[in-house]
Chain A
């Protein structure tokens, strides 16, 4: 058992949901109790997706255990097929259903549905979200592209002369950190090199798209955590080479362009020779000298953490004082990178350990996940988010990729602005419903907000007095509207000719003005 306050990754079936939700024409029937339906809100609220995730939960209850949970699964799968008419179905169990061992795969097979059904074995007590996403994508690719595979050992035919080179973009999912914008950026970049994109998967792909993955000349793995396993299988099966450079930052993007151009047999120079990002100049501009040797702590998924360390070190002139990841499966790359910066790698999914490390190191900037953002706020350290786990703020309305040349511009802005201006976040609106909000518990990280209300409080004494109980009652109003409540009440009292404000006056005024 592990004591966990916050967790970096969800369970593996949430990873499977990220694949199903990213795709079109796929439905996931998940054997799970009712509480597991919370996962829908990750997609509809955090990512603001316009459709419910294509997931049917069996929502079995205690009284069903030992009697007919298998029947409940079959009914749910049959009804989901009838209602949603998917082109492919994923079936599996969440942590609780895994324990009751109903075998969703076997049950679904028995239904003889006229579509490919992919059973998922995602061990919830060993594995986590990213692994679940990777495994799900791999299973889908194998099931759907497998029938089109050439006999083993067949050499890949040469591209016909005159045909433009083409590739697949693999890895972007629902609930990914800036995946949507990265895909646009990289597709545009490939366009500049005269390379076509055959399939982007899983984001926006249909089962039919996965079936023709083998048509492309090569694969680009944007997010190894999600797509490396599938890409390796495609390499073995279809002889498709893969691009391993992850184009985050100027240096990495240029390397990516060189690798891609080589595989495609095109000239990289038209892209490399132009000045396509402002980062190099902004970083050399003399006002950036204050960035020199800023001590930065970096934590995230392995790909984003390693990429961020390189950008911080080579492109912004920061000093990397800490580097780590919560993704044990990809720890090797983080260890190697940590060695080049001469720091001890922090490989852990224990939030408290990360917090302790940051507190100990006292960096000047934290580049992390939403979890490190919380830590940094508490410690009063500027922070920028570079990796999942995500939050609603990680889905900005504006175009905001991490990858490619525009991505480098975004990195410059988002990492440098917290240093100059402090992290301006409007957390207050999020806490409006928190009825227990009071000054002592609240604004530990918002000293300015608390100070402001304190200065508001005694300013408007005037001829109207406050009875002590009324003053007490006013203190229970959340601090961010207290100033307004005070002003309104005093104005009301003045209009009504009330000399001393009582609790009654306070509420009379509240009723009078409304919200």
Chain B
């Protein structure tokens, strides 16, 4: 690496050359944005997510989350019934009734999200008006916001984007003419958040806030003094909303692996006037530790060929980590949506001949995957076992969203997630 603030681009690339993107339009095998509630409802501890949708939505949530939840979750579905559609019951009156029931049952809730679904969008149930109306009823105890997690508009992690974008107008105004403050955007596991907080403190960068905050009653301020770092690559709408509040984006690679984490911290360091030497001093021990942790997995992963099906939008940063730090070969990097601007730093670091695919036609993609015979396929839960039975080793992509994988201290864990299926395959004699 040439230096902490300027990662060397991949040797086969010169600047921002054109990249090859296979655009697909066909059957998509991905979750809708409602699924983001599974981690968001645990991250914001006094928030509740009420999906206004169908039995299918409720069934999706328990099928996707069912194996993980054993306490009463802070989400539920207001299931639309025939009479809500037939106009016999005013859907808004019904919704008010359900919200009343819910808040009576869960008096500790301070923030309620009404979450739109495919059916609520198609019947044009106006959740923004409902949220405004209900906010008046339940103010000041409960704030009521809305966003759409519908599958006709959002794909998997875009649900978090829509949720955070809905939070942005609620953030308090940062005082004018104040010194710059850093905002880290994207839900992170608490332990990772604390690690980053310590690193920023050591760098002398502050104040630092995180969005979403752990409590809905302690939302971070935002304004012209805000410089923000994206911790996740799927936050296009949230970023736009923050820009609207005067915040300025710090372009950076995403904090996966050593390179990504250092590049990400370096972007903040540069913006906050931290010298390279100091940055190096602060990150060097953690970098070294992460490299030690990675070394073991590099032996298992290096030279292996990997194929990504589109899922969480984490695919491009993860491919960069695996290609650069683990020595893996990228067969295809599929992603539901390729945000050229937010991923610019990542694309610069990837080999120039990387094949990206955006969108999906799952049967054609499966054909490509089978004929390429990669060593490891990253895919959703619906595809994994059928591929395994064909002798193709897989890694469930959802685990990459549900595990702490950001930052130096998790770099080894991240690599291990990819190494484990290969190790397992080698071990088993049955």
Q: Which residues of A are in contact with B by a Cβ distance under 8 Å? A: 1-7, 9-11, 13-14, 33-42, 44-46, 48-52, 56-62, 65, 76, 79, 83, 94-96, 99-100, 123-126, 128, 370, 374, 377-378, 391-392, 427, 430-431, 433-436, 441, 444-445, 473, 476, 503-504, 507-508, 510-512, 514-515
Assuming the A-B contacts A62-B150, A444-B71, are A96 and B122 also in contact, with contact meaning beta carbons closer than 8 angstroms in the complex?
yes
Contacts of B328 in A (CB 8 A): none
Assuming the A-B contacts A58-B27, A61-B152, A433-B68, are A2 and B289 also in contact, with contact meaning beta carbons closer than 8 angstroms in the complex?
no
At the interface, yes or no: B109 with Cβ under 8 Å from chain A?
A: no
Specify which of A52, A431, A515 is in contact with B416 (CB 8 Å cutoff). A515
Q: Contact: B290 with A511, CB < 8 Å?
A: yes
Assuming the A-B contacts A435-B191, A507-B409, are A38 and B63 also in contact, with contact meaning beta carbons closer than 8 angstroms in the complex?
yes
Contacts of A374 in B (CB 8 A): 70
Q: Contact: A7 with B55, CB < 8 Å?
A: yes
* Distance in angstroms between the alpha carbons of A1 and B78 in the assembled complex: 6
Q: Which residue of B lies closest to A13 (CB)?
A: B56
Assuming the A-B contacts A10-B59, A34-B151, A391-B66, are A56 and B27 also in contact, with contact meaning beta carbons closer than 8 angstroms in the complex?
yes
Contacts of B275 in A (CB 8 A): none
Specify which of A99, A436, A514, A515 is in contact with B42 (CB 8 Å cutoff). A436
Assuming the A-B contacts A52-B382, A441-B71, are A435 and B63 also in contact, with contact meaning beta carbons closer than 8 angstroms in the complex?
no
Interface residues of B in 170-206 (CB under 8 A from A): 189-191, 194, 198
Q: Contact: B68 with A37, CB < 8 Å?
A: no
At the interface, yes or no: B225 with Cβ under 8 Å from chain A?
A: no
Q: Which residue of B lies closest to A446 (CB)?
A: B70
At the interface, yes or no: B62 with Cβ under 8 Å from chain A?
A: yes
Q: Which residues of B are in contact with A by a Cβ distance under 8 Å? A: 26-35, 39, 42-43, 52, 54-56, 58-60, 62-64, 66-68, 70-73, 76-82, 84-85, 89, 91, 94-95, 97-98, 101-102, 118-119, 121-123, 150-153, 155, 189-191, 194, 198, 285-286, 289-290, 292-293, 296, 363, 380-386, 389, 399, 402-404, 409, 412-413, 416
Q: How far is the CB of A466 from chain B (nearest CB, A)?
A: 17
Assuming the A-B contacts A2-B79, A60-B152, are A431 and B68 also in contact, with contact meaning beta carbons closer than 8 angstroms in the complex?
yes
Q: Contact: B54 with A11, CB < 8 Å?
A: yes
The 9 closest A-B pairs by CB, nearest first: A35-B32, A35-B151, A40-B382, A435-B189, A96-B118, A33-B151, A511-B293, A41-B381, A1-B94
Contacts of A35 in B (CB 8 A): 30-35, 60, 118, 150-151
Contacts of A51 in B (CB 8 A): 386, 389
Additional A-B contacts beyond A6-B58, A57-B28, A370-B66 (4; CB < 8 A):
A9-B55, A36-B151, A76-B27, A514-B416
Q: Which residue of B lies closest to A445 (CB)?
A: B70
* Distance in angstroms between the alpha carbons of A40 and B89 in the assembled complex: 34
Specify which of B32, B81, B385, B416 is in contact with A45 (CB 8 Å cutoff). B385
Q: Contact: B293 with A514, CB < 8 Å?
A: yes
Q: What are 7 contact pairs spanning A and B, CB under 8 A?
A: A1-B80, A9-B55, A11-B54, A45-B385, A392-B67, A433-B402, A435-B191
Q: Contact: A33 with B382, CB < 8 Å?
A: no
Assuming the A-B contacts A1-B79, A33-B150, A51-B386, are A430 and B67 also in contact, with contact meaning beta carbons closer than 8 angstroms in the complex?
yes
Q: Contact: B71 with A33, CB < 8 Å?
A: no
Q: How far is the CB of B331 from chain A (nearest CB, A)?
A: 21
Specify which of A37, A57, A435, A512 is in contact with B404 (CB 8 Å cutoff). A435
Q: Which residue of A lies closest to B409 (CB)?
A: A507
Contacts of A95 in B (CB 8 A): 54-56, 118-119
Dominant SS at the B interface? helix
* Distance in angstroms between the alpha carbons of A6 and B61 in the assembled complex: 9
Contacts of A96 in B (CB 8 A): 54, 56, 118-119, 122, 151-152
Q: Contact: A3 with B101, CB < 8 Å?
A: yes
Q: Contact: B32 with A33, CB < 8 Å?
A: yes
Q: How far is the CB of B423 from chain A (nearest CB, A)?
A: 11
Q: Contact: B381 with A124, CB < 8 Å?
A: no
Q: Contact: B386 with A44, CB < 8 Å?
A: yes
Q: Which residue of A lies closest to B62 (CB)?
A: A6
* Distance in angstroms between the alpha carbons of A7 and B54 in the assembled complex: 11
Contacts of B84 in A (CB 8 A): 1, 125
Q: Which residue of B lies closest to A427 (CB)?
A: B70
Q: Contact: A1 with B81, CB < 8 Å?
A: yes
Q: Contact: B28 with A59, CB < 8 Å?
A: yes
Q: Contact: B56 with A125, CB < 8 Å?
A: no
Contacts of B30 in A (CB 8 A): 34-35, 37
Q: Contact: A49 with B385, CB < 8 Å?
A: yes
* B29, B89, B97 — most chain A CB neighbours (10 Å): B29
Q: Contact: B79 with A38, CB < 8 Å?
A: no
Q: Contact: B118 with A476, CB < 8 Å?
A: no
Q: Contact: B292 with A1, CB < 8 Å?
A: no
* Distance in angstroms between the alpha carbons of A514 and B226 in the assembled complex: 37
Contacts of A377 in B (CB 8 A): 70
Number of A-B contacts (CB under 8 A): 238
* A10, A56, A433 — most chain B CB neighbours (10 Å): A433
Q: How far is the CB of B55 from chain A (nearest CB, A)?
A: 5
* Distance in angstroms between the alpha carbons of A40 and B379 in the assembled complex: 13
Q: Contact: A33 with B118, CB < 8 Å?
A: yes
* B43, B54, B64 — most chain A CB neighbours (10 Å): B54
Q: Contact: A5 with B55, CB < 8 Å?
A: no
* Distance in angstroms between the alpha carbons of A445 and B72 in the assembled complex: 13
* Distance in angstroms between the alpha carbons of A70 and B72 in the assembled complex: 40
Q: Contact: A44 with B382, CB < 8 Å?
A: yes
* Distance in angstroms between the alpha carbons of A493 and B371 in the assembled complex: 50
Q: How far is the CB of A74 from chain B (nearest CB, A)?
A: 14
Contacts of B39 in A (CB 8 A): 435-436
Specify which of B56, B98, B402 is in contact with A1 (CB 8 Å cutoff). B98
Q: Contact: B79 with A5, CB < 8 Å?
A: no
Specify which of B59, B71, B94, B189 is in contact with A14 (CB 8 Å cutoff). B59
Q: Which residue of B lies closest to A429 (CB)?
A: B67
Q: Contact: A514 with B296, CB < 8 Å?
A: yes
* Distance in angstroms between the alpha carbons of A441 and B56 in the assembled complex: 28
Contacts of A57 in B (CB 8 A): 27-28
Q: How far is the CB of B337 from chain A (nearest CB, A)?
A: 12
Contacts of B399 in A (CB 8 A): 433
Q: Contact: A514 with B412, CB < 8 Å?
A: yes
* Distance in angstroms between the alpha carbons of A480 and B383 in the assembled complex: 30
Assuming the A-B contacts A37-B30, A374-B70, A436-B43, are A2 and B78 also in contact, with contact meaning beta carbons closer than 8 angstroms in the complex?
yes
* Distance in angstroms between the alpha carbons of A185 and B416 in the assembled complex: 43
Q: Which residue of A lies closest to B155 (CB)?
A: A34
Contacts of A508 in B (CB 8 A): 289
Q: Contact: A435 with B403, CB < 8 Å?
A: yes
Specify which of B68, B292, B384 is in contact with A434 (CB 8 Å cutoff). B68
Contacts of B363 in A (CB 8 A): 79, 83
Specify which of A1, A11, A76 is in contact with B91 (CB 8 Å cutoff). A1
Q: Contact: B62 with A7, CB < 8 Å?
A: yes
Q: Contact: B76 with A45, CB < 8 Å?
A: no
Contacts of A36 in B (CB 8 A): 56, 60, 151
* B79, B292, B399 — most chain A CB neighbours (10 Å): B79
* Distance in angstroms between the alpha carbons of A62 and B389 in the assembled complex: 35
Q: Contact: A99 with B123, CB < 8 Å?
A: yes
Contacts of B123 in A (CB 8 A): 99
Contacts of A94 in B (CB 8 A): 56
* A5, A48, A56 — most chain B CB neighbours (10 Å): A5
* Distance in angstroms between the alpha carbons of A391 and B43 in the assembled complex: 26
Contacts of A6 in B (CB 8 A): 58, 62
Q: Contact: A11 with B55, CB < 8 Å?
A: yes
* Distance in angstroms between the alpha carbons of A45 and B102 in the assembled complex: 32
Contacts of A473 in B (CB 8 A): 191, 194
Q: Contact: B59 with A7, CB < 8 Å?
A: yes
Contacts of B380 in A (CB 8 A): 41
* Distance in angstroms between the alpha carbons of A42 and B60 in the assembled complex: 10
Contacts of A37 in B (CB 8 A): 27-31, 382
* A33, A507, A508, A515 — most chain B CB neighbours (10 Å): A33
* Distance in angstroms between the alpha carbons of A135 and B262 in the assembled complex: 58
Q: Which residue of A lies closest to B415 (CB)?
A: A514
* Distance in angstroms between the alpha carbons of A441 and B34 in the assembled complex: 23
* Distance in angstroms between the alpha carbons of A346 and B153 in the assembled complex: 40
